[in-house]
Amino acid sequence: MAGRGRVRGSGVPGLCLLLVSLVSCGGNPAADTAKAEVQRVLDRRAAAVLHHDAPAYAATGTPEGYTDLKALPLAAWSYKVTAVRRDGDSLTADAELSYRVEGYDRAPVTAGRVLRLTRDAGGSWSVTSEKPARKAGEQLWDEGTVAVVHGEHSLVLGVGQPVARLRSFADLADDAVPAVSAAWGTDWAGHVVVLVPRSLEGMAGLLGSPASSYRGIAAVTTGETGGRTKAPADRVVVNPDAYALLGSVGRQVVLTHETTHVATRAHTNAATPLWLSEGYADWVGYRGTGRTPPQVAPELRSAVAEGGLPAGLPTDADFGFSGDPARLARAYEGGWLACRMIAERWGEVKLDAFYRAVGAHQERAGAVEGALRNVLGVSLTEFTANWRTYVRDQLG
């Protein structure tokens, strides 16, 4: 009896250990091995990109794509494999690409990527293709060979554009940076990266949105908002189709506007209404151009002339790219006039302080009201009434 008891007692723990062992294996050791092997291949591929080593890149699989990105000045480039789906001697790998442009990015750009790999007779994996992940935006080199132009305060990366045109963007950006610093101050990076794709469709591909969302929009700025400790890797993305329709002043205003977003990024967050962030960027853009309110705000002027004086400051919804273009124009113009009014009545220093005070609040509720009270000494109701009178006087 005692012997049988010991057999039963030792058998149960043994069964438990076997079950624990099976569970801990994850049920697919082959997939785990393949994931580790793919990570090693991508580590070698990343090292080849960083060291501009074309033969080493080709040794990890297809050499396609290397020529498109080899001109990029990189400080970091790495992949992190997050999942693999194996099908015999081929597999699909999901990975996160992380990279930094030398001298410009304080934090990395990250992008989801999908890679296809095949295994040769010797059992080694090699890359056959790499594409953006589903719902992820393209990277510039996904659209063709990247050309690079260095400015004094700028880096311009383009695809399908003559070098002379890329140089013109560098010149505009080089003028924009000191103009922004003169208005905002120098507590920002003091340089900007500009992406110039081949067309509107290329711009939309970079932003991961339909082209219809940006038709008529000359440029946008990407980047995470808020926080000094995690400085964003901003990009000014140009719509070359819309940009070509602008005059010389308009082109400069647009680049200065977008550069302002780069400079103010650390102080822009969920608390900042779009009338302030876009209005301030326009204020800096038009500052020193001599353009008058009727010239800058034609849509709002027409509305006022027809008895359509706005009842309140523009809402975030008014800034929707895919809505009514006249409504969008009036929103930008109204925001610009609000910031222009602050600069005229309270001074440019107060305008900058107001912007920072709103962003310091971190949340939308009470942010504008508190900054108006503490910096400008007025309530939101008083400010709105003053703004409506200002709009009528400037555009009536």
CB-side neighbour CA atoms (13 Å) of 335 = 27
Does 121 score more than 90 pLDDT? Answer: no
Which of 365, 257, 277, 368 is closest to 319 using CA atoms? 277
Cα–Cα distance, 40 to 38 (Å, whole number): 5
Which of 259, 395, 269, 236 is closest to 330 using CA atoms? 395
pLDDT in tens, 336-390: 999 999 999 999 999 999 999 999 998 999 999 999 999 999 999 999 999 999 9
List the domain range (segments joined by +) for residue 351: 269-396
pLDDT of residue 205: 96
pLDDT of residue 28: 60
- For tokens 């081929």, name the residue: 90
Ranges 175-179, 213-217, 251-255, 315-319: which has the least confidence: 213-217
pLDDT in tens, 63-116: 989 999 999 999 999 999 999 999 999 999 999 999 999 999 988 999 999 999
Q: Does the residue 72 lie in any domain?
A: yes
Q: Does the residue 227 lie in any domain?
A: yes
Cα–Cα distance, 117 to 130 (Å, whole number): 9
**Other C-beta atoms within 10 Å of 193: how many?**
23
Q: Does the residue 353 lie in any domain?
A: yes
- For tokens 């008891």, name the residue: 5
Q: Does the residue 357 lie in any domain?
A: yes
Does 331 score more than 50 pLDDT? Answer: yes
- Mean residue pLDDT of the chain comes to 90
Alpha-helical runs (H) found in the chain: 2-24, 29-50, 54-58, 66-69, 163-184, 200-207, 240-243, 248-264, 274-286, 293-296, 298-305, 325-345, 348-360, 367-371, 380-395
What letter represents residue 362's amino acid?
Q
Residues with Cβ within 8 Å of residue 211, at least 6 apart in sequence? 200, 201, 203, 204
pLDDT in tens, 34-56: 999 999 999 999 999 999 999 99
Q: What is the CATH number of the domain that holds 145?
A: 3.30.2010.30
pLDDT of residue 224: 54
Tell me, yes or no, whether 250 and 306 share the same domain: no
Does 146 score more than 90 pLDDT? Answer: yes
**pTM (whole model) above 0.85:** yes
Q: Does the residue 16 lie in any domain?
A: no
pLDDT of residue 362: 83
Q: Does the residue 13 lie in any domain?
A: no
pLDDT of residue 376: 98
Tell me, yes or no, whether 381 and 278 share the same domain: yes
pLDDT in tens, 9-23: 333 333 333 333 333
Tell me, yes or no, whether 172 and 245 share the same domain: yes
Tell me, yes or no, whether 244 and 327 share the same domain: no
Bridge partners, residue 83, by sequence: 94
385: helix, strand or coil:
helix
Count up the domains in the chain and report the number: 3
